[in-house]
Amino acid sequence: MKRALITGINGFTGHYLTRELERHGWEIWGLGSQAENHQPRCRAVDLLDISALNDWVGEVQPQAVVHLAAIAFVAHSDAKAFYDVNLVGTRNLLAALAGLARAPERVLLASSANIYGNTTGGALDETTVPNPANDYAVSKLSMEYMARLWYDKLPITLARPFNYTGVGQSGSFLLPKIVSHFQRKANLIELGNMDVSRDFSDVRDVVSAYRRLLESDLAKGEVVNVCSGRLVSLREVLAMAEKITGHSMNAVTNPAFVRANEVQSLCGDASKLNTLVGSWSPRPLYETLEWMLSTGTEAA
């Protein structure tokens, strides 16, 4: 049984990745902001605490690492935290892994499609020139550049996930917000530009992609989009939710939620992912919304 270390193990993606890897025979160890009593192989370690981080990595001796821990909410109020956690914290982790007597066989760093920005439309592949538009995106792109310094020491893969959702995602994100309004049978919802189209994936498909990337024979330094390759507009999302629930809601545009110079269409090109892990057949968003609306956004 191979041993994997997941950082951010108690976060939204970490819960699903743990289940995905365990189902495929991995032994899971974790690092998070807090350790829960039922997780004997998990420890609360601050990525900025170099000594504690080195101790835990040395104890785990992972054969694979998936680095999910990050400040991920774009509207987070403390800009410094993006760089402390997403950049410096990642560097501390890579330094700890490089210091092991036996390096891991694969280190998967979760970056973000936010690095592409909001001004380049169409299907974006991994060669698209980055154009980050906020501190979160800049911190993730900075992490990618910093990770290059470790390519000669660690087998690093950089994953750039596009939008994804599922049961348990914070209500501060767009689709859980919409789901919550329909579950409450609200009469009104305020959104931004409802005519934009985006690439949405299911968290269960995203963690499947992460596992398959871990288990693939990749060259060092591969950068891979994780996306569905399908476009869905916010109006279509609302229509799907209405069809599933039978509830009709008045959706209005709040100018405060509209981004300046936002592109109409932003989609990922999943060609490289398909090449690396085999046929990529993510489930349609309608199925994901059915799951979320029937289960609730708070259960994981």
Q: Using pLDDT thresholds of 50, 70 and 90, give the confidence band for residue 74.
A: low
- 245-273 confidence digits (pLDDT tens): 999 999 999 998 887 766 777 899 999 99
Euclidean distance between CA atoms 81 and 172, whole angstroms: 18
Euclidean distance between CA atoms 54 and 142, whole angstroms: 23
CATH number for the region 3-165+201-228+267-282 comes to 3.40.50.720
Encode burial over 172-193: b for 16+ CB neighbours within 10 A, e otherwise.
Answer: ebbbbbbbbbbbeeeeebebbe
Catalytic residue among 16, 83, 116, 136: 136
> What is the dihedral angle through the alpha carbons of 112, 113, 114, 115, rounded to the nearest 10 degrees?
90
State yes or no: is 136 an active-site residue: yes
Q: Which residues contact 266 (CB under 8 A, 6 or more apart)?
A: 116, 118, 121, 124, 196, 197, 198, 199
Q: Is the pLDDT of residue 231 over 70?
A: yes
Q: What is the 8-class DSSP label of residue 7?
A: E
Q: What 3-state class would DSSP assign to 266?
A: strand
For residue 32, the model assigns a pLDDT of: 86
Q: Which residues contact 245 (CB under 8 A, 6 or more apart)?
A: 182, 183, 293
- Residue 81: count of CB within 10 angstroms of its CB: 16
Q: Is the pLDDT of residue 278 over 90?
A: no
Where along the chain do its domains lie? 3-165+201-228+267-282
Q: Is the pLDDT of residue 289 over 60?
A: yes
- Mean residue pLDDT of the chain comes to 91
Euclidean distance between CA atoms 47 and 283, whole angstroms: 34
- 1-52 confidence digits (pLDDT tens): 799 999 999 999 999 999 999 999 999 999 987 765 567 899 999 999 999 9
Q: Is the pLDDT of residue 78 over 80?
A: no
Q: Is the pLDDT of residue 298 over 60?
A: no
- 136-170 confidence digits (pLDDT tens): 889 999 999 999 999 999 999 999 999 999 999 99
- 91-121 confidence digits (pLDDT tens): 999 999 999 999 999 999 999 998 998 777 7
Q: What is the mean pLDDT of residues 182-201?
A: 93
